[in-house]
Amino acid sequence: MNNQLYIQEIQALFEDIQKSKIFEDQKTMTDAVPLFPISEINEKYENEKKAEGFDLKGFVLSNFDFLGTKISIHREKQLPIKEHIEKLWDELTRTAYEAKGTLLKLPKPYIVPGGRFNEFFYWDSYFIMLGLQVSGRVEMMESIVENCSYLIQTVGFVPNASRTHFLSRSQPPYFSLMLDLLFETTGNKEIYTQYHDTLEKEYAFWMDGEEGLEKDSSSKRVIKTKEGDILNRYYDAENTPRPESYMIDVEDSENASGEEFYRNIRSGCESGWDFSSRWFADGETIQTIETLNLSEVDLNCLLWHLEKTLVKSSGLQGLSEKESYFTLRAENRKQAIGTYFWDGYIYKDYHTKKYTTTASEHIGTLYPLFLGLASEEQAEIIAKTITEKFLYQGGLVTTTKKTIQQWDFPNAWAPYQWLGFQGMKKYGFDELAEKIKNNWCANVERVYDNTGKLMEKYNALDTETVAGGGEYPNQDGFGWTNGVYLKLKQN
C-alpha cells in the first residue's frame, strides 16, 4: 500500500465507525490493519450495512486486525526502576520494514513511546535517545537518526509520527540536536557531513513559503513580521478533523469562534503540545484555538540550532558560501528571538495579529537557556521566574494556568525537566538544576513504587495523584520518561 491514506479509501466506513464511537479510543481504528483488499471491504460494507440487525463493530472486527494497537507492560514481580527501564527498551522496540495499514515503512528498528502510541514519534525520540545513551545502546541511537533521515529524504520532513495520516505535519525539529547527541556519544564528527543534505532538506521544509512573502503576512510555517523579520510557526497542511480524534474534533468545532478550526487544532499537534491554554485566544477553551496566529519561542530556538548546525556541517566541508549564508540566518534569528519573544521576566510566544507577546506563561521559556541564547541577565531573571511560578514538589509544570488540558498546570512532562536541568546548569544555577532533577525524579520513583509503571506525564503539585487531563488517559511505557529519568540520574 502506498502513502495514500487507506482511511481516505474507506472514508464512509471510517466516518461511520468514528461517529458510532464503538471504540473507546478513536486512535484504535486509525491503527487497524485491513485483512482484505480495501475495495472488497468497501463492497461488503455497502452490501451488508442495510441488512436488519447489522452489527458494525462485528463487521469491523472481522475485517481488520487490531493486534498491536496498544502496548501493555506486565511484570510478575516489580524490578528496581533502572532494571525495569532496561527491559522496557527491548519491549518498546519495533520494526516496520514494510508499510502496513497506516504504518509507514522505516529502514531501521526504533523505540515507541508505549501505551496507545505504537509507532515512531519525532520529538519523543530525542528524549528516548538520552536514555539509550546512558544504557550504552548506541546502535539504536544511530537507527533513530537514520530513520529520521530516511523520512526527511523520502517525505521531505519527519512526520509527527510514522503513520500516513501524519503526512501533513511534523513535530518540534530535533534532528540537529539528535546529531549533537550522537556526536557526544561517538566522537564521530563525520555525522554532520554525512547528514548535511538531510539537515538542508529539513530546513527547506520549515522555510517553505518564505520566498516572495510580503511584510506582515504568513505562508505555511513562515511568518514575515511587519518589520520584515522572518519567524516560524507550527502549521498543518490539512484543514479537516484529525482521523485519530475524529469525533472529538467534530464536536469541538461546533462552537468554534475562529476560522480554520481544524487546521489550528492540527497545528497545535505539530508543536507536541496537544493541547494547552497556550493556544487559546481566551486562555480557557479549545474552541478559541488560534495556533496559526502565533510564532512560538521553542520552534524558533530549535530552528536557530538547525541553522547553527548547518553552519557547522557546511564549514566541515569547506562550503564557504553556505557557511556564510547560514551564519547570517542564525544571527538574524537570534536577534529576532530577543526582539519578539522576551517579555521582561519570561519568554513568551509572539502574536502576529496583535504585534505583541501572548498572555500565556509557559515552560517554553526554557529553550533560550537550554540552547545558550539568553544573556546572563535574562537567565538570572528566568531562574527566578521558574522558581516562583513553575517549580513544584513533583517537578516543573508546563503552564501557570489550570485547565482540563494535559499540557497545562499541574502536569509535569519529562522533556522540560531535562531542558530545565540543562538550562540552569549552563548558566551556573546548579542548586536550582538539582532541585528540578530531584523533585521530578522523586515523583517518578514514587509513582513507580506505587504502580510499577513509568507514566507519560506526572502531577507536579499533588504528588499523591497520577496526572490527568487531555483527550486520553495517562499512558504507561513511557519512552521519554525512561530516557530523561536515566539521563538525570546519571548527572
Site of grid cell 539537515: 199
Q: Report the greatest alpha carbon distance in the chain.
A: 73
Tell me how far the alpha carbon of residue 364 is from its chain's centroid. 13
Burial 272-295 (b: 16+ CB within 10 A, else e): bbbbbbbbbbebebbbbbbbbbbb
Alpha-carbon gap, residue 323 to 210, rounded angstroms: 20
Is residue 131 helix, strand or coil?
helix
Q: Active-site residue 274, yes or no?
A: yes
**Of 282, 293, 411, 420, nearest in space to 354 by CA:** 293
Q: What is the DSSP letter of 392?
A: E
Q: What is the SS3 assignment for 155? A: coil
Q: Which of 124, 349, 456, 471 is catalytic?
A: 456
Catalytic residue among 274, 298, 307, 476: 274
| Dihedral class, residue 466 (left if φ above 0, else alpha if ψ from -120 to 50, else beta) | beta
* CB-CB contact of 179 with 145 (8 Å): yes
Q: H helices of 208-362, where?
A: 246-253, 261-270, 297-316, 320-340
The rounded distance, in Å, linking the Cα atoms of 250 and 240 is 9
User: Is 475 in contact with 116 (CB distance < 8 Å)?
Assistant: yes
User: What would the DSSP string read from start to end of 440-470?
Assistant: HHHHHHHHHHHHS--BSEEESS-TTS----S
Q: What is the separation of C-alpha 45 from the centre of its chain, rounded to a whole number of angstroms?
A: 36
Q: Is the peptide bond before 410 cis (omega within 30 degrees of 0)?
A: yes
Q: Which three cell numbers stand for residue 193?
A: 557531513
**Start-to-end CA span in the chain (Å):** 46
Query: Which residues have C-beta within 8 Å of that of residue 74, sequence separation ≥ 6?
Result: none
Q: Which amino acid is at 60?
A: V
Q: Number of helices (H) and strands (E), helices first, in the chain?
A: 20, 14
Would you state the torsion angle of the CA atoms of residues 151, 100, 85, 146, taken in this order, to the nearest 10 degrees? -20
Catalytic residue numbers? 274, 456
